[in-house]
Amino acid sequence: MKEEGMKRIQAWQNEMKAYQLALTTMAYDRLTVAPESGIEYYSEQAAYLSGVLYSIQTDTQIENVLHALKDEDLNAEQKRMVELHLKDFDRLKRIPKEDYVSYQKLAQISEKKWEEARAKKDYSVFEPYLLQIIETQKKFCALRDSDKAPYDLLLDDYEEGMNQEKYDAFFALIKEKLLPLIHEIAMKQDAVRTDFLQGLWDIEKQKQMMKVLQKYLNFDPSWGYMGISAHPFTSCFSHNDVRITNAYHEDLLLSSIFSLIHETGHAVYEHQIPESYEGTVLCNVSMGIHESQSRMYENNLGRRMSFWNRNYDQLAALYPEQLKDIDQKTFVRAVNSAKPSLIRTEADELTYPVHILIRYEIEKGIFDGTVDCSRLEEVWNEKMKEYLGVDVPDASKGILQDVHWSDGSFGYFPTYALGSAYAAQFIHAMQKDMDIDKALSFADMESIQKWQKERIHCYGASIPSLQIIKNATGEAFNPQYYIDYLYNKYRDLYQIK
């Protein structure tokens, strides 16, 4: 029974994995190189294949096999596999297929409308689609489990075990400890020089710098590839095929650099998950841990003085005029500077969680009804003013800046801040085991990646994220590491007593 059941699950997984790779490839292609006017045809075919995949994913015969397997004598990995599959059934099976496929199409159109609205800086172009997306998500949540708060369901989708209560406590800490510091720093902008980051930075040279950093970070072209897209992202095709993308802006030197470092953090994670998990649900790792790895690369490693010991000279050589009088220390201080700003993806490490806090509060309000959905743009702008003291000049720099809501990814944003907090705790533990600065100074990313693999990546999704943190760091998740890290670093940098 057990043998046979596992065999059926295996065959079913093999089926899903072909569709998943097809859809991953098509999405990557669309976001990197596909010509504009082919998108409609693409969207139809992708929706069709999503529908086929949905039918496979919600096959009730398989669900029965999974339920029967639960009572068998399984090893820990098999148990976890069955558990995760059943969670997926719970998430999907009560949504009628027609509704599911329509929603895929709606999401495609909504994303296009979002793009259009953003280009026109006009929220009203996107608003009706967003409202439809919200309505559908609420409906889906009610179908899934009418007893649970809808937003709790969504938060758990993106980070297993999380809910509003836990996030409330987490964000309360950020509000209490970091907001006052941010306001103080906003008044002390002269303490850190950033003027030299103005100007234009030749894109071909940015691309040359990417090669330097890819080599330094061990992002190996035999298993990885970097494309170009409007917004950087990582996409895992298979164990030995992990893609990242980057975006180049002539007026932003740091954007492509820190995007590359960030996405490489994601990519290394995907590549270091055991190959035996390839194509199975044990690769579907937590968003929070995923983001912890990318933000750890971007911030906790990438903005360290020692990271630039090997890299700054090469950057300075590419831009001899602009960086003529700038030494490494001045550069590193600048890449760590903090200042309230409008755009999440370009935000500094300190103000970043506040951008997430704002999104969290709005999402929460959307789903518990305390936010008026006809006033979303105003609510956004009010919160930006309240928490960060900035005025939103137009919707493209406000509510339209992120793609996430356009396809209904509510509950996703909070994992970004959570990931930063996980990262601080991981780094604290890593520091106890090895000399991080020494490794970075000697271009020895291998040692760091070995630590990540042994402590974090080796688990894949075979245990829940909070358990990974315990195993890797020896204690339960504790956001205090994050708060302390930011608090000390920024008081020091801005000489605040």
- Could you give the residue numbers annotated as active site? 263
54 binds a copy of itself (CB under 8 A): no
Token pair recorded at residue 270? 């995907």
| 14/471 with CB nearer a copy of itself | 14
Which range binds a copy of itself by CB under 8 A, 45-53, 161-169, 175-183, 478-486?
45-53
Token pair recorded at residue 271? 């590549």
Token pair recorded at residue 256? 């492509």
Cα separation, 289 vs 409, in Å, equals 18
Q: Which amino acid is at 462?
A: S
Cα separation, 177 vs 293, in Å, equals 24
41 binds a copy of itself (CB under 8 A): yes
CB of 110 to a copy of itself, least distance (A): 21
Cα separation, 173 vs 356, in Å, equals 13
Helix axes 164-173, 150-158, angle to 10 degrees: 70
Largest CA distance in the chain: 73
421: nearest Cα among 365, 466, 457: 466
CB of 241 to a copy of itself, least distance (A): 3
Cα separation, 89 vs 145, in Å, equals 12
408's torsion region: left (phi>0), alpha (psi -120 to 50) or beta? left
Token pair recorded at residue 10? 């295996």
Which range binds a copy of itself by CB under 8 A, 41-49, 89-97, 102-110, 194-202?
41-49
Cα separation, 85 vs 328, in Å, equals 50
Q: Which amino acid is at 125?
A: V
Which range binds a copy of itself by CB under 8 A, 167-175, 241-249, 366-374, 415-423?
241-249
CB of 111 to a copy of itself, least distance (A): 17
Among positions 9, 12, 28, 352, the unique one binding a copy of itself when judged by CB under 8 A: 28
- The binding track of 198-227 with respect to a copy of itself, each residue x by CB under 8 A or -, is -----------------------xxxxx-x
CB of 23 to a copy of itself, least distance (A): 8
| 228/493 with CB nearer a copy of itself | 228
248 binds a copy of itself (CB under 8 A): no
CB of 85 to a copy of itself, least distance (A): 19
Among positions 15, 59, 99, 115, the unique one binding a copy of itself when judged by CB under 8 A: 15
Token pair recorded at residue 284? 């579907």
Q: Are 261 and 228 in contact (CB under 8 A)?
A: no
Q: Are 243 and 237 in contact (CB under 8 A)?
A: yes
| 87/205 with CB nearer a copy of itself | 205
Helix axes 253-272, 445-455, angle to 10 degrees: 50
Q: Are 405 and 345 in contact (CB under 8 A)?
A: no
| 85/271 with CB nearer a copy of itself | 271
Residue 283 DSSP class: G
| 224/479 with CB nearer a copy of itself | 224
278 binds a copy of itself (CB under 8 A): yes
Contacting a copy of itself within 413-442 (CB under 8 A): none
Number of residues that bind a copy of itself (CB under 8 A): 42
Residue 461 DSSP class: T
279 binds a copy of itself (CB under 8 A): yes
239 binds a copy of itself (CB under 8 A): yes
Which range binds a copy of itself by CB under 8 A, 36-44, 132-140, 141-149, 324-332?
36-44
Which range binds a copy of itself by CB under 8 A, 12-20, 71-79, 101-109, 404-412?
12-20
Binding interface with a copy of itself (CB under 8 A): 14-15, 17-19, 21-23, 25-26, 28-29, 33-38, 40-42, 44-46, 48-49, 52, 221-225, 227, 237-243, 278-279
